[in-house]
Amino acid sequence: MQIHISDHRARNARVTLVSRKRAPRTCTADSQGRPVTSARLVKGSLKTDRACAQMPSDDLAKALIAGNPELDIELFGKQVRETNRIYLTEDSRPAQAIAHREEVFDTDGHLKESREKRSLEGNINTAVALKWGRLIPKKKAAGMMVFTGSYQVTHGDGLTYDFLFDMAKELQDKEALMMLGAGENGTDPLVFRRNGTPYRAFLEGRIQGDQYLLVVHLTNLELKSVA
């Protein structure tokens, strides 16, 4: 994916983000050495689940002893492939109209605000480049946040190579992560796709000889000390 980013000198360019996930070097095999793969199977149906849940505990125990009321013999164990999510009403019928709401809670877990869900647009490749924010020492950042994902920033030509190399060198010299923000003021979290999860982003840079590494670390979790 493309990202529009500025550097510490207020220059900007569009560069590429690539996933840093690596293919596993090991695999699971059965006793005969054949590879094992995961499969999604039907565990239960709405009918059997609700019927069991609505039974008094004594009746449910007797029914379990007498038979298998929690199993739908026709569906149990059937392999599931492509699925679609639907919303149900209180009587377990498909809902015809859905109104999404966002609930905001404070640090004590109390409901602070309930509002209509806002539509978020992707903001990493707009006309306004992502801006450099404050620098945070690496050791301090590691104790402040839980990083849930990362992307590597890569160049496409010689000009963007020089652009990104200078950024990586600047961050290595400062031994810090740089907060990366969107919007006119550079304070908005990053949204990678429409209605995606907003993330706070921190840019890490390293160089070795004429090679560089720029990584965007993502977080939406903050560590706080226990009172």
In the chain (227 residues long), the average pLDDT of successive 10-residue segments reads: 87 87 79 87 77 71 79 83 84 82 83 83 87 86 83 89 91 90 86 85 91 90 67
**Is residue 212 within 8 Å of residue 206, measured between CB atoms?**
yes
Specify the pLDDT at position 152.
92
Q: How many CB atoms lie within 10 A of CB 63?
A: 15
- Evaluate whether residue 113 is within a structural domain: no
Is the alpha carbon torsion for 141, 142, 148, 151 positive or negative?
A: positive
Pair 136, 197 in one domain: yes
Q: Domain range spanning residue 63?
A: 43-78
Q: Which helix (H) or strand (E) holds 65?
A: helix 57-66
Query: What is the number of domains present in the chain?
Result: 2
- Evaluate whether residue 142 is within a structural domain: yes
**Is residue 213 within 8 Å of residue 226, measured between CB atoms?**
no
Pair 143, 208 in one domain: yes
Specify the pLDDT at position 107.
75
Specify the pLDDT at position 51.
62
- Evaluate whether residue 91 is within a structural domain: no
What is the reported pTM? 0.66
Pair 15, 55 in one domain: no
Stated length of the chain:
227
- Evaluate whether residue 30 is within a structural domain: no
Specify the pLDDT at position 214.
92
- Evaluate whether residue 64 is within a structural domain: yes
Pair 207, 151 in one domain: yes
Q: Write out the E strands in 79-199.
A: 79-80, 101-105, 111-116, 131-137, 145-154, 176-181
- Evaluate whether residue 111 is within a structural domain: no
